[in-house]
Amino acid sequence: MSDYATLLRDRQALRVRSVDRIFVQGYVPKLQSAGQVCRFLVDKGYRIPSSAAFGQIGRRYVAGIDRFAIDHEIPVVRFKRGDRKESIARPFLDQARDRDPDRAQVVMIGVAQEKSSAWRSWVAKGQKDLPHPHMEWSRQSTFVNHYYFYVWDPDWGPGFIKTNAYAPFGIWIWVNGHEWAKRQCDRAGIGYTAMADSNGFAACDDPDALDRICHRLGPQMLTSFLWRYLFSPTTHAKRPTTSDDSNAKT
């Protein structure tokens, strides 16, 4: 009697090794200790380094996001608890792909309250009435707004970059290796059939070429993705027409 491994092997139409979902976290390396935090704020021109100073920086950042969304007509969607974020973003990503797959586009900004670690300060004991009081610092867990920048990328297809306005200003990047491989096949003219209920490949006209593409994926491609959106101008997509815009706000 055949075992499961043998049955699956005998019925496989396509087999390649590839990276699936990629989730990367970044941080500001000079904001990992209280001393570094104080030096960071002093270098920014704040006479008294405190979490109030970080509050000013954060409010400017949020105002910048609001201007960015308005200037480029990018929809802002406020996620509710239990929302399937990917399902809400999918129509925006699909329309960007259909309109111009070779154009880098920020298609939607999602806002969600999520737990994060943030720096907090308070006046040290006995320092309250001094002109330059000493501040005590600690990292505390708190619920804050996180901003999901959903993008359609010419190399990676759908993905997002998530940030928040609270020190140490973490950043999270989500992309998909299978989607990257699909974009490379599209450019090379290699036909394939995507899996209906997943992001993988059901079939490919040239499996060997697909396997070589998958093996090319490396950290340099991820670095290029991040740099494209942090340091280069991007183009943007307007709101797609949907039947329910109750979550959307620009």
List pLDDT tens digits, range 65-109: 999 999 999 999 999 999 999 999 999 999 999 999 999 999 999
For the record, the structure tokens of 196 come out as 């209906």
Q: 11 pLDDT exceeds 90?
A: no
**pLDDT given at position 148:** 97
**pLDDT given at position 241:** 44
Please give the C-alpha separations between residue 217 and each of 11, 25, 105, 150, 191, in angstroms, as whole numbers.
Answer: 27, 19, 22, 21, 19
Q: Which of 102, 100, 105 is nearest to 73 (CA)?
A: 105
Q: Is the distance from CB of 166 to CB of 58 less than 8 angstroms? A: yes
pLDDT-derived band at 8 (thresholds 50, 70, 90) equals: low
Share the mean pLDDT of the chain: 86
Please give the C-alpha separations between residue 202 and each of 149, 191, 225, in angstroms, as whole numbers.
Answer: 30, 11, 26
Q: If you search the block for the tokens 């997002």, which residue do you land on?
A: 160
Q: 139 pLDDT exceeds 90?
A: yes
**pLDDT given at position 231:** 67
pTM: 0.83
pLDDT-derived band at 166 (thresholds 50, 70, 90) equals: very high
Give φ, ψ of 109 to 5 degrees.
-115, 120
